[in-house]
Amino acid sequence: MTAGTAGPGRRWLDRLWARGRDFLGTELAIMGGAMTWVSERHLVAAISNGGGFGVIACGSMTAKLLDAEIAATKGLTKKPFGVNLITLHPDLIELVDVCTKHKIGHVVLAGGLPPAPAIARIKQSGAKLVCFAPALAIAKKLLRDVDAIVIEGSEAGGHIGPVSTGVLAQEILPNVTEVPVFVAGGIGHGTAIASYLEMGASGVQLGTRFVCAHESIAHPKFKQTFIRASSRDAVPSVQLDARLPVIPVRALANAGTHKFADLQRAVIDRVNRNELSPKDAQLEIERFWAGALRRAVIDGDVETGSVMAGQSVGLVKREQSTKDILDELVAQACEALESRASASLDRAPEAKLGAGLRTRAGA
């Protein structure tokens, strides 16, 4: 079965994620997770051309670089795609203006609560605003400003929150229905997609699963590390000082993991000596991750670089085209839905028999 194949499972799937598809303007309600250095023009365009919704990871790009990246992505796809901006970026408003210039239809703000000036600027542009909610209270607070929410659990790669995807889904999906909600973190198989849609999600977001796509520019060594890894190899970084709110990062354990611990100690010492404010300290740590990630993704330094990966890395078994990955996920979701429907029909006569016995028994 492919993404375009008709069948009862596909028809059911399309009903379940109709709201997400309408919101994104796509055939599939599958968003590409924004992965710095990985989610660039080639992978983003491939996801969108495959029926999903690619998202450019702006990361620490300058406005000029983002301008060029969006233009290049437009040259590779005519399908909808979005841009992910980090709220801590010092030039956030300028980056929003670049998105406005290119008439980007969906802007994703990540890395913290969205600042009011950025929200206002995005709303003025006419773009749809998507934000992350790591808890129900934050999701409720965001409702007055956002057009959609992503809930991302701790199984995800890169920066993570403290709560698992499964728990967040149970907490948020039944209680947030005003806007579309996309579920992310640890999703690598279509069965999970079907399950979250049945729980009330409008769609999903996947990152790790696309790293080993043919269209991904990640270094061959980076991809091979993913293919060889197991789920338990993707571990979160450790925060050494509660005064320094370092957001944990999930990556494959290597020598770079120890380097990060050393950097934290050095930064903490500078904060203690009043040489750095906590905010500047956090920015310095973010710069460390950006550099370490580039060494791994682009240069292939998988020993001392940062090999950010979600726990679904254990489900990445080979390099495939982006279209094949999307088709595989859809086929798995359709199969899961059809299996559940068949099981339900198989149980129907038993349910009717049980009802009849209860009636005769005077129940």
- pLDDT tens-digit readout, 141-197: 999 999 999 999 999 999 898 999 999 999 999 999 999 999 999 999 999 999 999
161 assigned to some structural domain? yes
Domain span at residue 118 reads 8-218+316-340
> Beta partners for 304?
none
Domain match, 31 and 148 both: yes
360 assigned to some structural domain? no
Residue 245 binned pLDDT confidence (cut-offs 50, 70, 90): low
State how far the Cα of 349 lies from the Cα of 154, in Å rounded to an integer. 42
Domain match, 177 and 123 both: yes
Mean pLDDT of 29-55: 98
Domain match, 255 and 177 both: no
Domain match, 32 and 77 both: yes
* Distant-in-sequence, close-in-space partners of 35: CB < 8 Å, separation ≥ 6: 57, 157, 158, 207, 210, 211, 308
State how far the Cα of 96 lies from the Cα of 104, in Å rounded to an integer. 9
Q: Whole-prediction pTM value?
A: 0.89
pLDDT tens sequence across 95-150:
999 999 999 999 999 988 999 999 999 999 999 999 999 999 999 999 999 999 99
Tell me, what DSSP letter sits at residue 53? Answer: B
Domain match, 114 and 236 both: no
Backbone torsions φ then ψ of 109, nearest 5 degrees: -105, 130
> Beta partners for 100?
none
Domain match, 12 and 118 both: yes
The continuous run of DSSP H or E covering 292 comes out as helix 278-297
Per the CB < 8 A criterion, the answer to whether 325 and 46 are in contact is no
pLDDT of residue 342 exceeding 80, the answer is: no
61 assigned to some structural domain? yes
Query: Which residue from 10, 336, 338 is spatially nearest to 189, judged by alpha carbons?
Result: 336
pLDDT tens sequence across 279-301:
788 777 777 777 889 999 999 99
28 assigned to some structural domain? yes
